[in-house]
Structure 1
Amino acid sequence: METDDDRYRAPALDKGLDILELLAGVDGGLTQAEISKRLSRSPNEFYRMLDRLVRRGYVTRIDGDRYSLTLKLFGLAQLHAPVRRLASYATPLMRDLAQKSKQANQLAVFDRGSAVVIAQQEAPDYWGISIRVGSHISLFDTGSGHVLLAFRSLEEREMMISEHVRSREEVKLTPEFYARLDQIRERGYEMMASAQTAGVYNLSAPILGPDGRGIAALTVPYITLVNAPAAPDISRTISLLQETASQLSLLAGSDVPTPAEK
């Protein structure tokens, strides 16, 4: 007698999910032969499925013949309910940050090769720099992008970069760039002159998840307010930014102290 489980089987889908679930629990990737052995099937059964997963960006080849997960699933998950909840929780804190700093601010997450703005708060007075929600910005020349890269593991960092290369143009990153990411992680925030707008400094701090990894970046595009003598200077604004990022990290479930709390 045919059961419901038999009636609704989708062997190709099951095979693809088996591969993804297997690779999710392995560091360093697996060869096609190792995948087939662990899943107790012949190597030929997985050739076409692995090819499709690579072409769709869910799996990548490393060291020639080993397969490893990319961050595409992570990127898709960022657009799901937890991130929407984070944006919702962040709104009153971002509003408070804008009031105290007299500057605009924005929240960005990683998605398929770039940083994506999921929430933004306007400056409370006449002047401020803002960016539209949904905007895709570079990982390599923005404060948000630097922070998103800096607060991930080395392996995840390389996967994020490869996601960018697959979806856009190839980039040449220098040893100095990687050293800068390490400095950002040690310092706890990024401060850099904007590569897009003269007179603006990107101040960015990480939102940490329960495992201590960066899940989002909170950024203040800082401008000097000439006719606002009571506005905080850049040092005080960095402190306000880190305080807000720490509060958001707690809301995200992190119990890891940020550099501002140590």
Structure 2
Amino acid sequence: MSKLSIPSEERRYGAPALDKGLDILEHLSHESLPLGQLEIARALGRTPGEIYRMLMCLEERGYVMRDEGSGKFRLTLRLYELSHRQNSTTLLRKAARLPMESIAETVGQACHLSVMNGPMLLVLMERMPACQVCLAVGEGSRMPVLQSTSGKLLLANWPEAEALEFLDQLPDFRDASKAYRHKLLQALADLRGAAHCHVSSSTTEGVADIAVPVGVPGSDVAGALVISYLSGTKSGEKNYPRYLEALKAGANEINRNLGIA
């Protein structure tokens, strides 16, 4: 996960000791082998004495442990344990609730957040505007990944090898023609790293979907923020820039709520 960006004016309230401890943890997370006190100090541009007490504290609290043979330090699973006390679904719902309510009221359209759920795409949550008429998908709805804009956008941002392995398990892909598979893989390649996706719905005629990724691509904390609207109307096409702007602003707020820069 990306580091949270903190404005420079707020850094005057920094905690040097905490920074030192976090530097140690982050450095060890990048190393496959245990490191000694001197090695850690050199890598961080500090003296061994500066980090001695911090290493002792981290060891006592269970965040690092010493290798029995060499006495060098490595990470434990303590950070992993803490990060999994709240599951990804809970984190996304908490982070997205207020931004999605703001989107719905700002543009007068329903918006929904979709996540991967096995071979299906799940509408994790939906927020409706106060207006009487709008196009809704339905919270809790499920649909095949390859039949949804959100599913393709999310899958496109998986590591390529994992995406191919996933696709090979789907009968819709595995049993399809060579031409279809080639076309789909090209479409996913075109979407990789895209800031948004705007296409006609593959399931409902006259409807277009605008999807923006949120969270950490390819992880459990990843989703697609979507507005579906009637594309065959003048007002729909006229308002497309507003919808996209609102989605991007909402996605940025969700990412900030998740602690992602």
Q: 1:112 aligns with which of 99, 111, 118?
A: 118
Q: TM-score scaled to structure 1, two decimals? A: 0.58
Q: Partner residue of 1:204?
A: 211
Q: 2:194 aligns with which of 187, 190, 205?
A: 187
- The 1-side partners of 2:87 and 2:138 are apart by 20
Contact 1:103 / 1:223 at 8 angstroms: preserved in 2?
no
**TM superposition shift of 1:244:** 1.2
Q: Percent identity?
A: 18
Size of the aligned set, in residue pairs, is 176
Structure 1 runs of 4+ aligned residues shifted over 3 Å read 162-166, 168-173, 210-214, 224-229
**TM superposition shift of 1:124:** 3.1
**TM superposition shift of 1:193:** 0.6
Opposite residue 183 of structure 2, the aligned amino acid is E
Q: Deviations over 1:96-126 (max 9, x none)?
A: 1111122111111111111111101124312
RMSD: 3.3
- The 2-side partners of 1:155 and 1:116 are apart by 23
**TM superposition shift of 1:94:** 0.5
Opposite residue 157 of structure 1, the aligned amino acid is A
**Is 1:248 paired with 2:240?**
no
**TM superposition shift of 1:154:** 0.4
- Greater shift, 191-200 or 174-183, is seen at 174-183
Q: Partner residue of 1:102?
A: 108
Q: Deviations over 1:192-220 (max 9, x none)?
A: 11122222101111113288897111111
Q: Which secondary structure does the structure 1 equivalent of 2:125 belong to?
A: strand
Label 1:101 to 1:170 Cα distance change in 2 as closer, same or farther (>3 A): farther
Q: Partner residue of 1:34?
A: none
**TM superposition shift of 1:221:** 0.5
Rg comparison, structure with higher value: 2
Q: Which secondary structure does the structure 1 equivalent of 2:192 belong to?
A: helix
Contact 2:109 / 2:128 at 8 angstroms: preserved in 1?
yes
Label 1:106 to 1:157 Cα distance change in 2 as closer, same or farther (>3 A): same
Q: Mapping of 1:27-46 within 5 angstroms?
A: none
Q: TM-score scaled to structure 2, two decimals? A: 0.58
Q: Partner residue of 1:12?
A: none
Q: Partner residue of 1:221?
A: 228
**Is 1:238 paired with 2:236?**
no
Opposite residue 216 of structure 2, the aligned amino acid is G
- The 2-side partners of 1:181 and 1:140 are apart by 10
Q: Partner residue of 1:85?
A: 91
Runs of 5+ consecutive residues of structure 2 not aligned to the other structure: 1-83
- Structure with greater helix share of residues: 2
Q: 1:121 aligns with which of 116, 119, 127?
A: 127
Q: Mapping of 1:170-181 within 5 angstroms?
A: 170-172=175-177, 173-181=180-188
Contact 1:115 / 1:136 at 8 angstroms: preserved in 2?
yes
Q: Partner residue of 1:159?
A: 165
Opposite residue 116 of structure 1, the aligned amino acid is L
Q: Deviations over 1:144-188 (max 9, x none)?
A: 11111111110221233244349x984454322222222223431
